[in-house]
Amino acid sequence: MKGKESPTGPVPVKIERDQGIATLTIQNPPFNVLTSAVVDALADATVALSEDPSVRCIILTGSGDRAFSSGANIKEMAGMSLDEARRYSAKGQALTNLIERSPVPVIAAVRGFCLGGGCEISLACDFIVASEDAVFAQPEINIGVLPGWGGSRRLTRAIGVARARHWILTGEKVPAEVAMRDGLVDRVVPSGKVLDEARSLARVLASKGATAVAAAKYAVNYASDATRLLGLEYERDLWGVLFQTEDQKEGMRAFLEKREPHFSDRTGWAAQRERSPWKEQYGAYEEAKKEMGVDSNGHSPNLVPFFEIWQRTSRELMNSMLDVSLSTATSYQELVERAWSAATATYRIPTRQP
């Protein structure tokens, strides 16, 4: 069903209110693709509802039963430059930050596909209620990129390093029951009951003290990952760099042409890594090879002093960590605020009064 027409065209997001519970519905059928217009509308609606003192809980869902959202618009992204890609990533991160930082609890009611940017939006919500036929995935690797709207950070926080690594590096689709077992989904219900279950949970949340709910939400977010905003800039940098690669162009072109991609090998990797955001990590890898005495053939003839090397390296690493902690203790809040301001520059930050 098409969104209601406005003077400027279809309305990409519908807002419904019922006794303190607001429902946001993405209206871009059949798969609720997250075009720039949809992202802007979601951000505007999130800010408006977060600042409305009558709203006690938000439900976010997709129109129809085929998809919560199948992700961002590949056509919009395919030809982006590095700077355009970073701005696009910043925009998506700003939206997910707004959802996560809203003082109002947000429930994702998911039916059908919840992929890519759609999955990243659901990750920013406080609860996910999913239908039995819901499917989750971070499939960006299949088109030559990685999650760029906070997914690498939030998914790892939600389900742990091992499972997040599997989701992101394979791009596999994950059924709702498995997503719940992994710790992402709060509950799985029959398809026709998703919104009813989300509303039932919303009524429970709306019955609590609004100020206490907001404080509890912030406390849990801080306890789970106090530095979560600082990791988003690195994700954004990596996202932008990948738009300079042939694999990104081939992956997105193959997707639009509905064929299998033919990715390249690591030709040019040595030159690429020198100007990439991960160069320090790769440098650490090279340094580790030297300390272990690994030669160009991958052999390590110096295994005898391994324990001594390990002890020295561990001490140096610990001392370095202590130095960093001491040197940044007084400016940590400044770093957090700077990262947050950069990620949310596109939108206003909610300043809702309790």
How long a stretch of residues is the chain? 354
The yes-or-no answer on residue 274 being catalytic is no
Phi-psi region of 293 (alpha: psi -120 to 50; beta: other; left: phi over 0): left
Q: Where are the alpha helices (DSSP H) in the chain?
A: 36-50, 74-77, 82-101, 117-124, 151-159, 161-170, 176-182, 194-206, 210-224, 230-242, 246-256, 269-274, 279-291, 306-328, 332-343
Contact by Cβ (8 Å): 302, 293: yes
The yes-or-no answer on residue 197 being catalytic is no
Two tokens at 125? 């919500």
Amino acid present at 101: R
List C-alpha distances in Å: 192 to 30, 59, 130, 268, 340.
Answer: 18, 16, 11, 51, 38
State the CB neighbour count (10 A cutoff) for residue 132. Answer: 15
Two tokens at 60? 């976010």
Q: Which of 16, 76, 120, 257 is catalytic?
A: 120
Contact by Cβ (8 Å): 221, 100: yes
List C-alpha distances in Å: 20 to 101, 125, 183, 203, 343.
Answer: 19, 18, 28, 9, 29
Q: Which of 16, 51, 76, 140 is catalytic?
A: 140
- Catalytically active residues, by annotation: 120, 140
